[in-house]
Structure 1
Amino acid sequence: MIPTYPLHITNHSSVKPINCNIYNMTSPPALKDTNLFKPIKVGSIELQNRLAFAPTTRFRNTDDFIATNLIKKHYTDRAENNGGLLITEATFVSPQAGLYPNGPMIQTNQQAEAWKQVVDAVHSKGTCIAMQLWHLGRAANAKTLKEHGVPYLAPSAEYFDKDRKKVAIESENELREFTIDEVNQIIEDFKQGAINAIDVSGFDFVEIHSAHMYTLAQFIDIASNHRTDEYGGSIENRTRLALEVVDALIDAVGADKVGIRISPYATFQGGSGAESKLMHPIAQYAYLYSELERRGREGKRLAYVHSVEPRVALGVDVEDSPEYSTEWVRQIWKGVLIRAGGYLHQPNYEKLIRDVSLDDRTLIGVSRYYTSNPDLVHRLKNGLELTKYDRNTFYTGGNYGYNTWGKYGEVAKGMDSNNAKLETLSLV
């Protein structure tokens, strides 16, 4: 059973009411006649539309990193009348992958069985679901790791900011470089996580998190990888671990069940970005896309590649960001491509309509407006206004700001009399 005991969550007397303002868009277009609402085959599965719920980090799990019924309801609500693809929040493949309090994990049978209930509920609505597999590296919290007896590891002993270094020193868990044995363990942890997700939980796909300067991206990026062994130096060496994880998962669960997320232009958590004086993202990442395409031509084509657009830095739109062409990604990778990043923030969804219409193999990934619009598919299809999300509730615990959003025409539940004691919420 999914646990039903209370989580440690924010005292909601100090939380601002949910912002239920309708997104300020004049007569949003109905997208029902666009490519977004045409079926597409992903791996061996046909989706009914081309909208994906991009991975959205949340902390609604138990202290033992087990999914709760809050999570089950969250994904089930967004699976109703959908038919597309939901991708879970990033999920730790093991304690050694790094830990955030109340994040999800897929290592133990109990964790996998809890996720199975989520998957079964989503499938009952006719929608598909993928699990994103996560390894943190230097992005982890040294103090939390110390409390669980886990060392603080990265490709190289290079902190990305002073705060992380300060916490590591104070916790007596300073950052050090992965040994070769520990690098091999990363591969094994991803492999076992994929097996648990597909064979036990019943997910349709697993998505390798190789974006936003977590472990695999830290190995790829020249700014964070100063190794001199077979995992450092050249582009081929720095990309080696990501491709070894890809190959291990292909062997374990099949290429048609594997996706990978990549953010070539990310500057979050110390990423090089397009303005880097060390190496341009096209130079760093074209090799990775090329190797994925080579595998596809050899009969091991991944279900999809998930690319983050340069106009977004993690979950935040970049103000006045330069326009970088990502056409090179489409030129290299010829399989199914999920493109994510700020697509619902442009007037009349102009970039969304343009990009989903460029070919017959593109999906559009969105996340922030999926948090505040459980019926997002219905709204986009029929040209209905969107409810603005509330960033203040993204990383709090409990139900508030998570499952309290209404469908179109409904009033968000928020802090009404039926939800006044959320700090002792029974996870139903």
Structure 2
Amino acid sequence: MTNTAQSTETGHSTDTAHSPLLTPYAARGLDLPNRLVMAPMTRFRAAEDGTPLPVVAEYYAQRADAGLLVSEGIWPHRRGQSGWRIPGLETEAHVAGWRTVTEAVHARGGRIYAQLMHGGRQGHPRSRLLGDVPAGPSAVPTPSPVHVKDGKAEAPVPREMTTADIRTAIDDHVAAARNALRAGFDGVEIHGANSYLTHQFLADNTNLRSDAYGRERTLFAVELVTAVAEAIGAHRLGLRLSPGNPQFGMAERNPGPVYRALVDTLDPLGLAYLHLTDNDAYPALADLRPRWHGTLIANVGENHAPTSQAQGERVLTEGLADLVSYGRAFLTHPDLPARIAVHDPLATPIDMAHLYTHGAEGYTDYPTLEGERRAGRRDAAVAAL
């Protein structure tokens, strides 16, 4: 049945069935009021020990009308910390801090997954609580300077992970996933994209190993996903991948065979979803969609302009995905579903000066559509005086 409401402020008819982005979606582990997913985005709003600041609860609660929220990347253990004031899910303080967030989201009727983000080679002794050199699949440093707590610095040469280190990293993810559920998250997403640990095992230039994890570059991802799925239930677990993404010096000359093999192996597990970014050189959505029989979330804005309403709708109507994740549009439009309903141009600019600071400014102070309309009425009233 079409749900149509007349806006008394604008006179526009809002037909929430008009956009496929606003249609409900239900599948294994998911029961969503719309197909808009808020993509995970690092914002540096944690205390120095990795506990999310109080303002984080307001930020996610403001965006709870999304079909699904995926949190910013959270380190599973300080061994995987990639940056200063990025949040963690290791300690009881972390669990309590995130519980405040999930309760605020649930009070607004929302759903939220925790993204677990192990930095691997990403990081620097000056941005890690342990003060040590990070470890990755191979001793290959990030080519560009990295953020540290007092500015930027050249990336260190990472330590090559031993087999014991790999087992520990998997165990850390399992413990953090359990902590996520204790904190009230509805599920967990493993960050296997955008140059972090799992992606480093998949890529050509960051995995130079001669052991089984080098000969079969999908092995770490398979073992990790399987272990976490066994611990919390596959229906509560998603995986994000970015085949061919060159961010932070990643190189994948021919990603197709690697990711086809990975998807074919993981598809039978029955995960909650696969969260996949497309790439100009490798059309991952078109190639992998037929191989994935569960829910697929598409992200088409990575390394491009922010995703528009029309782009998201096209992904759905072409059958390339079931859900669409939006990043920058959700940063500046906390009420994104309401704006999609009235075809708002989504033109609110990002406050770049406060994007990666630690307070409410540039974080929870973006206006809603209703707020903008009220401001317009106030301006009109002032002008009439």
The one-letter code of the counterpart of 1:304 is: Y
| Structure 1 residues 122 and 227, CA gap change in structure 2 (3 angstroms) | same
| Cross-structure match for 1:305 | 274
1:352 to 284, 299, 312: 312
What aligned pairs does 1:269-284 form with structure 2 within 5 A after superposition? 269-273=248-252, 276=253, 280-284=254-258
> How many Å separate the matches in 1 of 2:94 and 2:317?
39
Whether 2:60 is the aligned partner of 1:75: answer yes
Equivalent pair of 2:105/2:111 in contact (CA under 8 Å): yes
> How many Å separate the matches in 2 of 1:171 and 1:350?
40
| Structure 1 residue 409, shift from structure 2 partner | 4.7
In structure 1, runs of 5+ residues without a counterpart are: 1-26, 312-321, 413-428
1:408 to 353, 369, 381: 369
> How many Å separate the matches in 2 of 1:177 and 1:41?
42
Q: Deviations over 1:263-313 (max 9, x none)?
A: 00200012225xx3xxx11122111111111x2xxxx300000001215xx
> How many Å separate the matches in 1 of 2:273 and 2:155?
41
| Structure 1 residues 224 and 30, CA gap change in structure 2 (3 angstroms) | farther
> How many Å separate the matches in 1 of 2:144 and 2:364?
36
**How many residue pairs align between the two structures?**
354
1:148 to 104, 118, 130: 130
| Structure 1 residues 140 and 37, CA gap change in structure 2 (3 angstroms) | same
> How many Å separate the matches in 2 of 1:137 and 1:325?
24
> How many Å separate the matches in 2 of 1:339 and 1:172?
31
| Structure 1 residues 223 and 204, CA gap change in structure 2 (3 angstroms) | same
The one-letter code of the counterpart of 2:279 is: P
| Structure 1 residues 201 and 333, CA gap change in structure 2 (3 angstroms) | same
Q: Deviations over 1:26-61 (max 9, x none)?
A: x9x976423212211243331111100000111011
1:388 to 327, 337, 349: 349
| Structure 1 residue 324, shift from structure 2 partner | 3.7
1:115 to 98, 121, 125: 98
| Structure 1 residues 244 and 402, CA gap change in structure 2 (3 angstroms) | same
The one-letter code of the counterpart of 1:334 is: H
| Cross-structure match for 2:383 | none
| Cross-structure match for 2:202 | 220
Moved more, 38-47 or 185-194: 38-47
Q: Which has the higher contact order (CA 8 A, sep 6+)?
A: 1
Q: Deviations over 1:61-109 (max 9, x none)?
A: 1111101211000001111xx1510000000000000241111100011
| Cross-structure match for 1:397 | 358
Match of 1:231, SS state, is helix
> How many Å separate the matches in 2 of 1:139 and 1:173?
9
Q: TM-score scaled by structure 2? A: 0.85
| Structure 1 residue 392, shift from structure 2 partner | 3.6
What aligned pairs does 1:170-189 form with structure 2 within 5 A after superposition? 174-189=157-172
> How many Å separate the matches in 2 of 1:187 and 1:405?
38
1:36 to 18, 21, 26: 21
1:98 to 77, 81, 90: 81
> How many Å separate the matches in 1 of 2:131 and 2:138?
20
> How many Å separate the matches in 2 of 1:63 and 1:223?
32
1:286 to 255, 260, 266: 260
Q: Deviations over 1:376-416 (max 9, x none)?
A: 1110122223222233432122111001111115359xxxx
> How many Å separate the matches in 1 of 2:71 and 2:317?
26
Whether 2:224 is the aligned partner of 1:245: answer yes
In structure 2, runs of 5+ residues without a counterpart are: 1-11, 374-385
| Cross-structure match for 2:287 | 328
Equivalent pair of 1:31/1:383 in contact (CA under 8 Å): no
| Structure 1 residues 288 and 399, CA gap change in structure 2 (3 angstroms) | same
| Structure 1 residues 172 and 254, CA gap change in structure 2 (3 angstroms) | closer
| Structure 1 residue 162, shift from structure 2 partner | 5.9
| Structure 1 residues 163 and 171, CA gap change in structure 2 (3 angstroms) | closer
2:176 to 178, 193, 215: 193
Whether 2:211 is the aligned partner of 1:232: answer no
Match of 2:103, SS state, is helix
> How many Å separate the matches in 1 of 2:94 and 2:234?
24
Equivalent pair of 2:264/2:292 in contact (CA under 8 Å): yes
| Structure 1 residue 174, shift from structure 2 partner | 4.5
| Structure 1 residue 204, shift from structure 2 partner | 0.8
Match of 2:275, SS state, is strand
Moved more, 188-197 or 354-363: 354-363
| Structure 1 residues 171 and 358, CA gap change in structure 2 (3 angstroms) | closer
